[in-house]
A and B are shown apart, each in its own frame.
Chain A
Amino acid sequence: AQTVTQSQPEMSVQEAETVTLSCTYDTSESDYYLFWYKQPPSRQMILVIRQEAYKQQNATENRFSVNFQKAAKSFSLKISDSQLGDAAMYFCAYRASGTYKYIFGTGTRLKVLA
C-alpha cells in the first residue's frame, strides 16, 4: 500500500530565511503525482506545487521549489525568502496515475518568526 511520511511535525524559520520540509513516500507504481498543499488557520487547502513523477526536472513556483528524488522516494519542499503568510500546516500528498485517491501525510506545521 502507498504511504506518505512527513517526519517533521513542526518547523520554524526566520522571516526571509529558507526552510525545507521533508516528505518521503512508498509506492510500487512508476507513474504518479506528488503535491504539496498548504492549510492556513482559515482551513482552506491551497495547492502549493505539484510534480509529475515522469518529469525529472524539479517543479518550481516562485519562492517554492521541490527536490524530487524518485529513486529515494523523497519529495521535499523548499520555501525561500519565507514570509509571515507562509505560516501554515503543509501536507505532502501522493496520487497514482489513473486513480483519484490522494494519500496525505500527517502534515508539518510551519512557524515563521518575525
Chain B
Amino acid sequence: SAVISQKPSRDICQRGTSLTIQCQVDSQVTMMFWYRQQPGQSLTLIATANQGSEATYESGFVIDKFPISRPNLTFSTLTVSNMSPEDSSIYLCSVGSSGTSGRLTDTQYFGPGTRLTVL
C-alpha cells in the first residue's frame, strides 16, 4: 500500500478565510480522491482529483468552494474557501490505482486526515 501524508494535520481558522490542504503520496498513483468526514458522521466523497485536468465533483460540492489541484501523480491539494463553521470536518485524501481500462482496480488507501475547525 502507498504511504500518504497530509498537511496540516489540524488547523483552526477564522470564518471567511481559506485553507489549502496538501496530500503527498510516496509513489505514483493514478487516482486521488478527497473526502469529508463531518463530526460523528461517515465519509462523503467530495471529488476525484484528475491529473492535468479539472477535478470531478460529486453532487453537492462545487469547484468555487473546494478548488482542487493535481499537478502530478503524487501530489494534490484541496482548498476550503470562504470557510464557515459548517466546514468544520476532517478532510481525508485517498489514493487508488486503475488498470488500462481506467477503472479503479485496487483498494483505496487513506491519508491521516486534516482536522479543520472554523470559528
Neighbouring B residues of A43 by C-beta, 8 Å: 90, 92, 112-113, 115
Neighbouring A residues of B57 by C-beta, 8 Å: none
Closest-CB distance, B102 to chain A (whole angstroms): 10
Closest to A91 in B: B42
Given the known interface contacts A43-B112, A43-B115, A45-B110, the answer about A104 and B42 at a Cβ–Cβ threshold of 8 Å is: yes
Neighbouring A residues of B33 by C-beta, 8 Å: 100
Q: Are A45 and B103 in contact (CB under 8 A)?
A: no
Please encode chain B, from 70 to 110, with 1 for each CB lying within 8 Å of some chain A CB and 0 for all others: 00000000000000000000101010101000011001111
Closest to B112 in A: A44
A11 within 8 A of partner (CB):
no
Neighbouring B residues of A101 by C-beta, 8 Å: 45, 58
Alpha-carbon distance A46/B110, docked complex (angstroms): 7
> When the two chains form the complex, which single residue of A50, A104, A106 contacts B107, counting CB atoms closer than 8 Å?
A50
What is the predominant secondary structure among interface residues of chain A facing chain B?
Answer: loop
B41 within 8 A of partner (CB):
yes
Closest-CB distance, B55 to chain A (whole angstroms): 13
Chain A interface bracket (under 10, 10 to 19, 20 to 34, 35 or more): 20 to 34
Closest-CB distance, B112 to chain A (whole angstroms): 5
Please encode chain A, from 11 to 52, with 1 for each CB lying within 8 Å of some chain B CB and 0 for all others: 000000000000000000000010101000011111100100
A43-B92, A45-B110 given; name 5 further pairs at CB < 8 Å: A44-B112, A46-B110, A101-B45, A106-B41, A106-B42
Residues of chain B touching chain A, judged by Cβ–Cβ distance below 8 Å, are 1, 31, 33, 41-45, 48, 58, 90, 92, 94, 96, 98, 103-104, 107-113, 115
